[in-house]
């Protein structure tokens, strides 16, 4: 079974119990972020963030890349705060469903969730600065909708409109 299918199957079964599904290290650098990811995100993005075909994209490269630029960091905060709607392409596959908003989660939890993606799932180099709660707070102060977040994504992922 390939990775995406295994992730999808594990997500459908409601647990990462399939052999080989628990590919990530047992001790994440961001355990609070991992807990939040499992509670809020795996239902769509799969237990190890590999995405689910036709539903939600993999989170195994873009978050780590976004974290290296100011606009990319804003994009990460905007996506979790306000969700995203509109067609996107990741690894040559199209996704056009709705990412929900998570304004109910506090700034520290959202920063930890993003750091789990950036460092534990995407293995960003150690010289990348972890997302700070203040960066989430700055975007929380400027409410927008999922279409605007989709529009802003074009500035950080120009090759995948
Ligand atoms: C209901 C399903 C669903 C849930 C739950 C969900 N997402 Fe998403 N997510 C999506 C979809 C669908 C997209 C693509 C949106 C689009 O097509 O515009 C997406 C996109 C993203 C992206 C942008 C990826 C890129 O390439 O720009 C990130 C980052 C992300 N999600 C993180 C998360 C995190 C973190 C959580 C949990 C806090 C989460 N998602 C929960 C469905 C979901």
pLDDT 10s digit of each residue in the chain, 161 long?
556 555 555 555 544 445 555 555 569 999 999 999 999 999 999 999 999 999 999 999 999 999 999 999 999 999 999 999 999 999 999 999 999 999 999 999 999 999 999 999 999 999 999 999 999 999 999 999 999 999 999 999 865 44
Q: Which domains does the chain have, with CATH numbers?
A: 3-153 (1.10.760.10)
| Rounded Cα distance, 50 and 16, in Å | 12
- Cβ neighbours around 41 below 10 Å, total: 21
Strands 88-90 and 93-95, sheet pairing: antiparallel
Query: Which of 12, 38, 45, 76 is the best mutation target for the ligand 1 pocket, counting ligand atoms within 8 Å of the beta carbon and taking the most?
Result: 45
| Rounded Cα distance, 118 and 140, in Å | 20
- Report the separation in Å between the CA atom of 129 and the middle of ligand 1, taken as the mean of its atom positions: 22
| Rounded Cα distance, 17 and 143, in Å | 38
Question: What does the pLDDT read at residue 15?
Answer: 47
- Report the separation in Å between the CA atom of 99 and the middle of ligand 1, taken as the mean of its atom positions: 5
Question: What does the pLDDT read at residue 157?
Answer: 86
- Backbone phi, psi, residue 72, to 5°: -65, -40
- Report the separation in Å between the CA atom of 100 and the middle of ligand 1, taken as the mean of its atom positions: 7
Question: What does the pLDDT read at residue 160?
Answer: 46
- Cβ neighbours around 52 below 10 Å, total: 22
Ligand 1 contact, 95 CB (< 6 A): yes
């Amino acid at each position: 079974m390939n990775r995406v299918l295994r992730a999808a199957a594990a997500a459908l079964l409601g647990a990462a119990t399939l052999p080989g599904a628990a590919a990530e290290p047992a001790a994440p650098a961001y355990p609070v972020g991992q807990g939040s990811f499992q509670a809020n995100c795996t239902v769509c993005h799969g237990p190890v963030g590999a995405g689910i075909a036709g539903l939600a994209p993999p989170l195994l490269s873009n978050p780590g890349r976004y974290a290296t630029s100011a606009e990319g960091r804003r994009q990460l905060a905007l996506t979790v705060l306000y969700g995203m709607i509109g067609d996107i392409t990741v690894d040559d596959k199209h996704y056009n469903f709705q990412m929900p908003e998570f304004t109910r989660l506090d700034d520290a939890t959202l920063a930890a969730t993003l750091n789990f993606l950036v460092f534990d799932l995407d293995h960003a180099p150690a010289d990348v600065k972890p997302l700070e709660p203040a960066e989430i707070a700055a975007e929380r102060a400027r409410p927008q909708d999922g279409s605007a977040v989709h529009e802003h994504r074009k500035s950080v992922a120009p090759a995948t409109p």
